[in-house]
Structure 1
């Protein structure tokens, strides 16, 4: 796969067409001198367990990987901490209120959105929620439900980083 910078034809600062490879991580504009480093976007993923030690999973309503299993989460907004981002995403997708988000690990990912490969750094959190009894599928979630840990099929998860994250979570 080509580096995402290969899709940028113009300098984002001055608009010049002389926006060329500077090194393997950046492009440089020969007109204004602007150097742009393309870094991963921040995203969050939530592990939410109920009192029966079942994991909350979601079915994706949209591409990429529409119809496959996922976990609540998404991109962090500008000005948000990772903890704020995971709490907002859980609320938007399930209606659940996160009381505590405890960092677990990160995984790199490539999330193809509108045909554009978005490199992400997915941050996984174990989230404690106020009430696991009242949740619903909202936003870009087709359905959500709790799944016993011993019934989880990793192949049902459509996003590579989430599949690997669930695998790591289950090994703990």
Structure 2
């Protein structure tokens, strides 16, 4: 099912005359409002220790409960990508981000409350104040460090994170 099929009423006037305009939008025949179904912004954090180990989390909830993940999540309204990744890292690990540097982005889909959300996942290389006191919080069951040469991208459950880890490993070998 296309996500637009889930939207029956015009969000502006409430009309039922809210029909498909094209593959990415619906248009209200009564008030003329056009709604575009766009990707939601999300972040993913690469956090490295000096010994070239990466902070990895284990997912506590579905989708992909029990698989490996990286800290991150949806960006809130009025947040920048940098603010969003810092907040998510803190909420999930208790670590405070000092610096974040944009690396790349990947499109993704994420099943949230049985609704398929299309996302644009922005990956950041983050430096934190301290790597000593990690806490697994929010939707994280566990957090731990894995040396880069021991990481298996196939253990990461979310498709964009798995692909992002592959890209990261290619660009950070022997740095």
Q: Distance in 1 between matches of 2:140 and 2:36?
A: 33
- Superposed counterparts of 1:49-88, under 5 Å: 49-88=48-87
3-state SS of the aligned residue for 1:167? helix
Q: Provide the residue aligned with 1:33 in structure 2.
A: 32
**Superposed displacement of residue 40, structure 1:** 0.2
**Superposed displacement of residue 21, structure 1:** 0.6
Unaligned runs of 5+ in 2: none
Q: Provide the residue aligned with 2:6 in structure 1.
A: 7
**Superposed displacement of residue 9, structure 1:** 1.1
**Superposed displacement of residue 114, structure 1:** 1.2
Q: What is the CA deviation profile of residues 5-50 of structure 1, one whole-angstrom value per residue up to 9, with x for unaligned ones? A: 1211111111111110111111001111110011100000000001
After TM superposition, the structure 1 stretch with the greater mean CA deviation from structure 2, 12-21 or 65-74, is 12-21
After TM superposition, the structure 1 stretch with the greater mean CA deviation from structure 2, 62-71 or 14-23, is 14-23
TM-score of the superposition, structure 2-length normalised?
0.96
**Superposed displacement of residue 94, structure 1:** 0.3
- Superposed counterparts of 1:102-141, under 5 Å: 102-141=101-140
**Superposed displacement of residue 51, structure 1:** 1.5
3-state SS of the aligned residue for 1:135? coil
Q: Provide the residue aligned with 1:48 in structure 2.
A: 47
**Superposed displacement of residue 3, structure 1:** 2.8
After TM superposition, the structure 1 stretch with the greater mean CA deviation from structure 2, 24-33 or 97-106, is 24-33
Q: Distance in 1 between matches of 2:157 and 2:16?
A: 37
**What do you get for the CA RMSD once the two structures are aligned?**
0.7
Q: Distance in 1 between matches of 2:55 and 2:5?
A: 38
Q: What is the CA deviation profile of residues 109-167 of structure 1, one whole-angstrom value per residue up to 9, with x for unaligned ones? A: 00011111100000000000000111110111000000011111111100000000000
3-state SS of the aligned residue for 2:76? coil
Structure 1 residue ranges, 4+ long, deviating more than 2 angstroms after superposition: none
